[in-house]
């Protein structure tokens, strides 16, 4: 008995996997915002760049969901992964000495820049696996989006907007502080 996936089912599975990936990016950005807003831990410039890399990964998933699955969209996500990995490695190297306590709080024993590195490596592997599930740039009709998919997309757009606003508030019109303690545009 030969097992073969129907191309329509494979395409739908690809859409759901991309939605799951976008949901994961949303979760990462939400956790970062929780620490920023609830615990008053402003992100450093490298942290802001890591968020931008995560958003780029999210755009790759978003484009696959909204415009159809294409390798060019996966390449955007992979570029975001590489960008995030480079920035996170830079920050890890800044705090690698044993007497250095690192920057910011930890989550499950690791700093967020270490988590950003781990997450972007895992996403790189996941994208590589997902890319093998369908024919390259296959012409498929777009699958109608369920309410869950629409919510994940709306949340991503909301998080991008919130990140932009918080970065402008934090950095003002100039360079972001290396160790930010207040929002530049909100200082008295």
Return the pLDDT at 86: 96
pLDDT means over runs of 10, the chain (188 residues): 56 87 96 89 90 96 91 95 96 84 79 92 94 64 76 94 90 80 76
Return the pLDDT at 82: 97
SS3 content of the chain, % helix, strand, coil (to 5): 65, 0, 30
Return the pLDDT at 116: 93
Q: Which domains does the chain have, with CATH numbers?
A: 7-167 (1.20.1550)
d(CA 30, CA 58): 13
DSSP assignment of 87-107 equals HHHHHHHHT-STT---SS-EE
> In whole angstroms, what separates CA 70 from the centre of its chain?
19
Distances (CA, A) of 146 to 12, 20, 92, 152: 12, 13, 40, 10
Rounded to the nearest 5 degrees, what angle is found at the Cα of 161, between the Cα atoms of 158 and 163? 110
Helix, coil or strand: residue 43: coil
> In whole angstroms, what separates CA 107 from the centre of its chain?
17
Q: Look-up: residue for tokens 């807003």? A: 37
Residue 17 host element (H or E): helix 7-37
Count Cβ atoms below 10 Å from residue 182 Cβ, excluding itself. Answer: 13
In this prediction the pTM is: 0.87
Return the pLDDT at 68: 87
């Amino acid at each position: 008995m030969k097992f073969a996936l129907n191309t329509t089912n494979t395409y739908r599975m690809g859409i759901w996997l991309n939605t799951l990936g976008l949901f994961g990016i949303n979760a990462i950005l939400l956790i970062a915002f929780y620490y920023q807003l609830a615990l008053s831990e402003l992100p450093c410039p490298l942290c802001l760049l890591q968020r931008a890399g995560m958003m780029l990964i999210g755009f790759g998933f978003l484009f696959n969901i909204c415009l159809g699955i294409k390798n060019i969209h996966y390449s955007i996500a992979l570029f975001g992964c590489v960008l995030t990995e480079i920035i996170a490695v830079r920050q890890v190297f800044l705090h690698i000495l044993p007497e250095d306590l690192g920057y910011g709080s930890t989550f499950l024993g690791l700093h967020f820049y270490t988590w950003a590195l781990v997450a972007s490596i895992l996403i790189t592997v996941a994208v590589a696996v997902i890319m093998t599930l369908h024919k390259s740039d296959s012409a498929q009709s777009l699958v109608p989006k369920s309410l869950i998919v629409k919510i994940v997309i709306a949340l991503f757009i909301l998080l991008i907007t919130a990140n932009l606003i918080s970065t402008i508030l934090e950095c003002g019109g100039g360079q972001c502080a290396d160790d930010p303690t207040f929002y530049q545009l909100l200082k008295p």
